[in-house]
A and B are shown apart, each in its own frame.
Chain A
Amino acid sequence: MTLSTADDTRERELVQLALSGGRIYPRKHWWRIAGMAVVAVLGLVFIETFIFNKNMQWDVVFRYFTSEQILAGLVTTLELTAITMGIAIVLGTLIAIARTSSSAFLQSVSWFYVWFFRGTPVLVQLIFWYNLASLVPEVGIGIPFGPLLVSTETNQLITPFVAVILAFGLDQAAYMCEIVRGGLLSVDEGQKEAAGSLGLTSAQTMRRIVLPQAIKVIIPPTGNQLIGLLKYTSLVSVLAVPDLLYAAQLIYSQNFLTIPLLVTATLWYLIVTSILNIGQYYVERRYSRGSTREVTASITSRLFAGLRRKKEHVDVS
């Protein structure tokens, strides 16, 4: 095969250019630029409408930000979330173990539990527990179907706070059960066999072998669930439990500064969920022992590494 002299020169020029290490002009992404322009305009409109809106009254937002009522509401919200999540994790894990057990009875009972609590709205359950007194006026400890030995009025025992804990705890446990079950199923059957062949009982195997491995799979959706729950607790305002949202509502029902106080509550919700996000990252890292060959970096060093990479990337282009 022969190349014409002209082609030959052209090719040599191209090779020279490619090897010279000169600047390469990146491809222009016109659609991306157009998209960015649209988003930028919408963003400016948003800022103009909401942030620089004098009806927003930022001074009010921050005046109430650390007010006693709002802070008390925040504490109630955190308490509700923590207690409910504690119940949900313990109960959900037990139900998940029952669902994956070899006993047909335990399997069906736990299946029924999940079916029932996942199938009913949590708001309905909330109102149900709150009104339990109209169904069962007295509760106590005694002989089943027989007389009560110790008893109290239902309304004394099921305060609004307790109603909320019951409703959310039982409801969330159903979801946690499914999350934990997914984690348990992710652990290889051979792990149980190996533990069994060494003489570990099934309880020891569950605690020492299966759960520690399942936890890696369980944590990410649990973090999601926790953040969801924190927000769901705002439903308790219907029972007049003074949580973060209800505290804000109480204030604006008197001074009619509705939007600023909702923003106060919103900011607090955002702060708490952000903290939970960071916490989740560290918990995930703690439980990824043995799953990678390298040591994982902290969240800040990862962030900086990301920025450095971005910068290098820019330098190249």
Chain B
Amino acid sequence: MSVESEKVLLRCIDVTKRYGNLEVLHEVSLDVRAGQVVCVLGPSGSGKSTLLRGINHLEKIDGGAILFDGRLVGYEERNGKLHELKERQYMRTRSRMGMVFQNFNLFPHLTAVENITLAPRLVRRADSAAATANAVRLLDRVGLADKANSYPRQLSGGQQQRVAIARSLAMNPDLMLFDEPTSALDPELVQEVLDVMRALADDGMTMLVVTHEIGFAREVADEIVFMADGAIVEQGDPDTMLTRPSNPRTREFLAKVMS
């Protein structure tokens, strides 16, 4: 299990999101403490991904508040009113959160190393040589030291996702968001990605993981959150959540995925 502190790194309070008349998130409240690994489970369409995208400000929320490291994500308070932040300002916050996507979203026109060094160089103004050295070190950490100069299309899905994780880590994030990182992978490639994530958790990274991998959640998570129909139905420690869930919807979902 990872090291936990009392410091709340991410706090979601009554987060609500609508697409037209459809409420995809309904008053979701969730705390993630520094060093904690939280796994979000739930059927598709339950709002898990939308929550992650809201946290990263890829989508604007319609109600509630998201605080990262004690500050509102995307907004600031001036004279008792909320103002939208300028792009540069919220980009600074955003770059402290790594995001790993279901479809990897590597940049196909750049090599693995270039994928990793791009953001440090552009956003942090890192020196090119230092950024490359760091990228090589990160590639080694995800077991792909020999793929530094490969283009994404020359890599398998599992390798691409590991490069994507290395790309996020290059910004030294305080929080890593994983949006179904293994759902687009062939079954035999899932494990290599989960191994990298497990190592990351062991190193004390704060992680919020949307996943269908129950085994991973049981083993790595400090807390499991179960969502359905845009709301948190139940949350608790993995043992209780996976063996003795109190909510019938959780039981129904687990029965389906574990059969």
Contacts and interface: CB of A to CB of B under 8 A. Distances in A.
Interface centre among B88, B99, B109, B164 (most CB of A within 10 A): B109
Given A208-B118, A291-B153, A199 B123 contact: yes
B95 interface: yes
Contacts of B99: 193-194, 197
A193 B105 CA distance: 8
A195 B105 CA distance: 9
Contacts of B107: 191, 194-195, 209, 213
B87 interface: yes
A289 interface: yes
Given A193-B58, A208-B118, A290-B151, A198 B123 contact: yes
Given A199-B91, A204-B122, A290 B153 contact: yes
Contact of A289 (B56, B58, B122, B151): B151
A214 to B, nearest CB: 10
Interface centre among A188, A193, A195, A198 (most CB of B within 10 A): A198
A229 to B, nearest CB: 28
Interface in A270-296: 289-293
Interface string B160-176: 00001001100100000
A199 B92 contact: yes
Contacts of A200: 91, 118-119, 122-123
A212 B115 CA distance: 14
B226 interface: no
A198 B168 contact: yes
A201 interface: yes
Interface string B29-64: 000000000000000000000000000101000000
Interface residues of B, number: 32
Contacts of A190: 101, 103, 105
Interface centre among A188, A196, A209, A289 (most CB of B within 10 A): A196
A197 B58 contact: yes
Contacts of A151: none
A195 B219 CA distance: 31
B171 A199 contact: yes
Contacts of B167: 198
A60 to B, nearest CB: 52
Contact of B109 (A188, A196, A290): A290
B108 interface: yes
B110 interface: yes
Contacts of A292: 153
A188 B106 CA distance: 11
Interface in A258-317: 289-293
Nearest to A198: B119
A159 interface: no
A190 B151 CA distance: 17
Interface centre among A195, A200, A204 (most CB of B within 10 A): A200
Nearest to A202: B87
B110 A290 contact: yes
A195 B101 CA distance: 12
B101 A199 contact: no
B95 A199 contact: yes
Contacts of B210: none
A197 B59 CA distance: 11
Contacts of A198: 95, 118-119, 123, 167-168, 171
15 contacts: A188-B105, A193-B58, A193-B101, A194-B101, A194-B106, A197-B56, A197-B94, A198-B119, A199-B91, A199-B123, A199-B171, A200-B119, A200-B123, A208-B122, A291-B108
Interface of A: 188, 190-191, 193-202, 204, 208-209, 212-213, 289-293
Given A199-B91, A202-B87, A290-B152, 9 more contacts: A190-B101, A193-B105, A198-B118, A198-B167, A199-B94, A199-B95, A199-B123, A201-B88, A290-B151
The 9 A-B residue pairs whose C-beta atoms are closest, nearest first, are A199-B95, A194-B105, A198-B119, A197-B99, A290-B151, A190-B105, A199-B123, A199-B91, A290-B109
